[in-house]
């Protein structure tokens, strides 16, 4: 009798084992958290487009609640122009804390610059780049404002400085207007004998011009279709290039040893684009380096840029993304509506989850006795559960066969034991 009990226990264990496996097979796999797609990461081997996006993300994190960068019209306008050049919608530029937009700030700031041709022109450039109408920008007609600053007799904009004249011409060209010849002649009259321009309202003496003013003036003339100044201005810029391939504000020892800076590099790159020059070519390289390689070398891991001897800042960074994208002032942009600059540099940034693909529905779905608030993905009937490939638990048919064989074995052993017991009695 003890043998019968032991045998029965063994058989019971064998019988319940497949049932346990069946139960395990019917238990859904634990839900796997959805994968997340991180924002773009800036690396040393990134493309110029990726570098520009990293710089824009840095600028987004630097944006103030009033929508500006450093409460500066110029910096904020450059931010808008670069974002549009990268394909992002400038209306989404609201910073990490969703404050005022950059365009809202420019609208308000333009009211304080109605007598400044350079600032009015630059706001108009940003509005056009954003794909908006400068003649009806948040209740403002920037085209009329700019026209009011133009002096038809002299061809000068505002105070007649190089920046005012250049940005007036650039804005008029970008908004579809015809630039008067007298206006471009007035800008040409501000050129020094060496082909350079300075910031002021008079032509500089030889050696007193600077790369920034020259680049801005050259872009304005090229945008207006006047290329008479190209050869001499490009020759001047070539004399300013340093051994590291970059450009300083002035290649002069008057204020100490000249060093290249990314803002000057960016403006020169943009001017070269406008003049149909290749900033990365051998012609514009020294010792295998050029303005573009200098810009790339100057980018910090978080996407920002610094002026030599200073910490990185929005002021220095704002000019650079457009140059990396090969865009110059007055060049058309095509931002994608709703596309926003990645907020990867914001302290509150959280990657957006990417929904897991929906599996095919089961042909014969079996309702769960206790549905979970977050249902696990449904596997098709007959599919093997993850982690049980090739095992017993994946096949109900196999379990049934095992049970039948075990029942047959039980019957055989029971019959043998009964006959043996009867024979002993006999």
Domain ranges of the chain: 1-25+398-426, 54-324
Residue 422 has pLDDT above 80, yes or no: no
What's phi and psi for 90, nearest 5 deg? Answer: -60, -20
Determine the Cα–Cα distance for residues 288 and 177; give it in Å rounded to an integer.
41
Whole-number pLDDT of residue 348: 79
Which has the higher per-residue pLDDT, 372 or 147?
Answer: 147
**Which of 151-165, 290-304, 378-392 has the lowest average pLDDT?**
378-392
For residue 328 the two structure tokens come to 């110059």
pLDDT of 28-86, one tens digit each?
A: 433 333 332 333 446 778 899 999 999 999 999 999 999 999 999 999 999 999 999 99
For residue 259 the two structure tokens come to 């060093």
Average per-residue pLDDT in the chain?
Answer: 81
Whole-number pLDDT of residue 349: 84
> Can you spell out the DSSP letters for 326-376?
T--TT----PPTT-----TTSTT--PPBPPPPPPPPPSS----SS--SSPP
Whole-number pLDDT of residue 350: 75
Residue 338 has pLDDT above 90, yes or no: yes
Whole-number pLDDT of residue 83: 97
Query: Which of 3.40.109.10, 3.30.1330.60, 2.60.120.470, 1.50.10.20 is the CATH number of 54-324?
Result: 1.50.10.20
Whole-number pLDDT of residue 286: 96
Q: What angle do CA 86, 105, 311 make, to 5 degrees?
A: 65
For residue 133 the two structure tokens come to 């109408």
Residue 210 is classified by DSSP as B
Whole-number pLDDT of residue 405: 54
For residue 326 the two structure tokens come to 């090969």
Residue 270 has pLDDT above 50, yes or no: yes
On whether the CB atoms of residues 129 and 80 are closer than 8 A, the answer is yes
For residue 51 the two structure tokens come to 């570098």
Question: Per-residue confidence at 409, pLDDT binned at 50, 70, 90?
Answer: low
Radius of gyration of the chain (CA): 36
Percent with pLDDT over 90 in the chain: 68
- How far, CA to CA in Å, does 417 sit from each of 2, 139, 351, 371, 424? 12, 102, 69, 48, 11
Q: Which residues contact 311 (CB under 8 A, 6 or more apart)?
A: none
Question: Which residues make beta-bridge pairs with 306?
Answer: 312
For residue 245 the two structure tokens come to 């391939």
Residue 253 is classified by DSSP as S
Residue 413 has pLDDT above 80, yes or no: no
Determine the Cα–Cα distance for residues 302 and 147; give it in Å rounded to an integer.
41
């Amino acid at each position: 009798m003890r043998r019968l009990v032991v045998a029965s226990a063994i058989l019971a264990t064998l019988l319940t084992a497949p049932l346990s496996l069946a139960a395990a097979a019917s238990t859904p796999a634990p839900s796997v958290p959805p994968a997340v797609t991180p924002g773009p990461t800036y690396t040393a081997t990134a493309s110029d487009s990726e570098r520009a996006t990293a710089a824009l993300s840095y600028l987004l994190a630097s944006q103030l609640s009033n929508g500006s960068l450093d409460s500066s019209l110029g910096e904020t306008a450059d931010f808008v122009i670069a974002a549009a050049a990268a394909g992002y919608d400038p209306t989404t530029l609201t910073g990490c804390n969703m404050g005022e937009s950059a365009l809202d700030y420019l609208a308000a700031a333009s009211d304080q610059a109605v007598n400044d041709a350079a600032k009015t022109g630059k706001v108009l450039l940003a509005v056009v780049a954003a794909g908006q109408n400068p003649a009806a920008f948040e209740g403002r007609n920037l085209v009329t404002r700019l026209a009011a600053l133009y002096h038809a007799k002299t061809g000068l904009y505002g105070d007649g400085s190089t920046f005012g004249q250049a940005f007036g011409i650039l804005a008029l060209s970008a908004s579809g207007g015809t630039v008067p010849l007298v206006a471009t002649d007035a800008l040409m009259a501000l050129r020094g004998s060496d082909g350079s321009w300075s910031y002021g309202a008079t032509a500089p003496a030889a050696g007193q011009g600077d790369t920034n003013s020259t680049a801005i003036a050259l872009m304005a003339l090229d945008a207006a279709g006047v290329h008479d100044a190209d050869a001499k201005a490009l020759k001047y810029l070539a004399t300013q290039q340093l051994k590291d391939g970059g450009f300083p504000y002035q290649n002069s020892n008057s204020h100490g040893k000249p060093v290249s800076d990314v803002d000057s590099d960016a403006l020169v790159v943009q001017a070269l684009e406008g003049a149909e020059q290749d900033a990365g070519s051998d012609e514009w390289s020294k010792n295998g380096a050029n303005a573009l390689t200098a810009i790339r070398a100057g980018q910090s891991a978080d996407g920002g840029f610094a002026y030599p001897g200073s910490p990185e800042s929005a002021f220095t960074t704002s000019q650079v993304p457009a140059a990396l994208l090969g865009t110059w002032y007055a060049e058309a942009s095509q931002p994608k509506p709703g596309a926003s600059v990645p907020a990867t540099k914001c302290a509150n940034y959280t990657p957006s989850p990417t929904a897991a693909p929906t599996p095919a529905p089961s042909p014969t779905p079996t309702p769960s006795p206790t549905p979970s608030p977050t249902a696990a993905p449904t596997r098709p009937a007959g599919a093997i559960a993850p982690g049980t490939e090739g095992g017993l638990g994946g096949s109900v048919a196999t379990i049934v066969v095992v049970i039948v064989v075990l029942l047959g074995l039980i019957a055989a052993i029971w019959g043998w034991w009964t006959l043996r017991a009867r024979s002993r009695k006999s």
